[in-house]
A and B are shown apart, each in its own frame.
Chain A
């Protein structure tokens, strides 16, 4: 399987435009509903409760309320966002680093015990993570990882291993063997082969897996809710739950905070959208 951009596969046909309009309408309608939460979040963050009550639907011109809402959101979200970025990026990077090493091992060599080890990974797919949560909690307690960002990172790295190794192994196996053999002829060691062959050739897939791991971490709220105690350690997940727990709600504040919480992802996707789409579209996760 090779990565290709959509343009090279399909052959253009002409003269069918009249059938196109309903398709466009369908996709647009579905996407419009899908994007509704985003729209609501954005427009409510411009308002305070009184304005929202008078006019819940339509956007209004930005005013002093907007500034007020976003000032609140900025102060609230910034530390949470910093924690979340720290945890998510560290976890995703470590996750992929270890996964690439292991995938390289499994894809390139058939060592004694490698079958046993491979089944050790595959069996893990059968064990539901939800059954582990209670003992995992006591384990973290013994390891002194409760109320610590490292605890979150450790769990996230471990839980992402199987999936990433699985996908990467398939991918590396499909890389042309000649490349590796040529490199070996030149006296390149395993590290060199990984750095010069595996990583460049599987760039999009690694990028895609990175984004998926990152998103998994970013969106998680159950583990942080259980692990973290101190407010200064909170990730966005817990922080937003705490915000939702206030007794008197100011929807403008809340939506502005939600928007701020989305901002890092917005920026990241803005720049890596193509890579992500290409990685997934190329059938990376065929299974």
Chain B
């Protein structure tokens, strides 16, 4: 525990404050000041220059009636739900690696999990974009090869009525409004996050071999072992990753910007709140309104965080 220093002694030990001041100054200038400035400017008609005009709640009223903004929240909600499921492969891989008997293999798999991290994110992004290319892309070629295409075509004809899967035509993954969100969801398959896997493995580390043996004596199958032994132990880690994922998804827009462009692709189907804010600021030049969108986003994230703190407490 930290040593308690009363006020009297603190005057003597004032130098200690110097340790925290650099960090404090940094966050005050580059985090708090912009945040407060964003609140302030959300009440202005401001185009980024020196001229600004106070317009009260107008920006927020505009946001309230902005269909694009609310649709983008819908899209981001779908993406969050999808990302929830996309956490499963990381957990599964961590559990399977942990269950391996050989420590040597466990170690080498960890190394292999980390290897994709050497590819810069942007490069991954562009390669995936290349995979989605209708004519040259990997995805359509694989679908043709495993003959999944006819199934998709009949699915479309009889169930979906999207009119996007057609015999003899390559599937335009990133240009059909119906397909944009599914493409974004499928993006990054099989969704293994190196950091995630390693953190889960860390949580699993405390399970001794004897626990498994006891469970096996009780006749537990693989899934029961997961449910009763492994899952409770990595719950903390899952919660941590969950929060990081939710916050990351709701704020994120880099992927959409580079994959679909600043308008969110055909039909604006890939528009997310962050991208809309970026678009309003750096394309339309409506900085004041962009700040207001930022405020709306902030409120959403705040509410999510409060819910999280109330119901899903992380014990330190």
Contacts and interface: CB of A to CB of B under 8 A. Distances in A.
The answer on direct contact between A and B (beta carbons under 8 Å) is yes
Interface of A: 6-7, 9-14, 16-17, 20, 23-24, 26-27, 30-31, 33-38, 40-41, 56, 98-99, 101-102, 104-112, 114, 117, 120-121, 124-139, 154-155, 157-159, 161-162, 165, 170, 173, 177, 190, 212, 215, 218-219, 221-222, 226, 236-237, 240-241, 244, 251, 254, 258, 261-262, 265-266, 269, 273, 276-277, 280-287
Contact of A101 (B19, B32, B192): B19
A277 B19 contact: no
The 4 closest A-B pairs by CB, nearest first: A131-B294, A158-B30, A135-B37, A280-B198
Nearest to A277: B110
Interface string B135-179: 010100100000000000000000000000000000000000000
B24 A273 contact: no
B138 A287 contact: no
B127 A40 contact: yes
Given A134-B48, A219-B120, 16 more contacts: A13-B213, A14-B101, A27-B96, A31-B112, A33-B190, A34-B116, A102-B24, A112-B10, A130-B277, A134-B38, A136-B30, A155-B30, A221-B122, A236-B122, A277-B111, A277-B114
Given A27-B96, A30-B192, A132 B294 contact: yes
Given A132-B31, A221-B122, A266-B118, A286 B236 contact: yes
Interface in B259-310: 274, 277-278, 281-282, 287, 290-291, 294-295, 297-298, 301-302, 305
Contacts of A130: 251, 253, 274, 277, 294, 297
A281 B202 contact: yes
A162 B314 CA distance: 17
B60 to A, nearest CB: 14
Contacts of B19: 101-102, 104-105, 190
A35 B115 contact: yes
Interface in B67-107: 89, 92-93, 96-97, 99-103, 105-107
B2 A139 contact: no
Most buried by B among A102, A155, A170: A102
A265 B120 contact: yes
Given A31-B113, A161-B27, A285 B38 contact: no
A30 B102 CA distance: 19
B258 interface: yes
B189 interface: yes
A128 B103 contact: no
> Mostly helix, strand, loop or mixed at chain A's interface?
helix
A260 to B, nearest CB: 10
20 contacts: A7-B103, A9-B208, A23-B100, A27-B93, A30-B190, A31-B112, A37-B116, A37-B123, A37-B124, A111-B17, A126-B301, A127-B298, A130-B274, A139-B30, A158-B29, A159-B30, A219-B121, A240-B126, A254-B126, A265-B118
A99 B202 contact: no
B38 A131 contact: yes
B65 interface: no
Interface string B234-251: 001101100000010011
Contact of A157 (B26, B89, B107, B250): B26
A131 B42 CA distance: 11
B276 to A, nearest CB: 11
A281 B209 contact: no
A203 to B, nearest CB: 17
Contacts of A139: 29-30, 33-34, 37
B38 to A, nearest CB: 5
A277 B198 contact: yes
Given A40-B138, A134-B294, A161-B23, A280 B202 contact: yes
Interface of B: 1-7, 10, 13, 15-17, 19-20, 22-24, 26-27, 29-35, 37-38, 41, 48, 89, 92-93, 96-97, 99-103, 105-107, 109-124, 126-128, 130-131, 136, 138, 141, 189-190, 192, 195, 198-199, 201-203, 205-206, 208-210, 212-213, 236-237, 239-240, 247, 250-251, 253-254, 257-258, 274, 277-278, 281-282, 287, 290-291, 294-295, 297-298, 301-302, 305, 314, 316
A35 B112 CA distance: 9
B131 to A, nearest CB: 8
Contact of A41 (B22, B103, B123, B250): B123
A277 B111 CA distance: 8
B101 A269 contact: no
Nearest to A154: B30
B117 A265 contact: yes
Given A110-B2, A112-B10, A262 B119 contact: yes
A54 B21 CA distance: 61
Contact of A132 (B38, B89, B202): B38
A134 B287 CA distance: 7
A283 B298 contact: no
Contacts of B305: 125-126
Contacts of B131: 37
A131 B298 contact: yes
Given A13-B209, A127-B298, A281-B205, A98 B236 contact: no
Contact of B34 (A7, A17, A126, A135): A135
A133 B26 contact: no
Given A158-B31, A261-B123, A9 B206 contact: yes
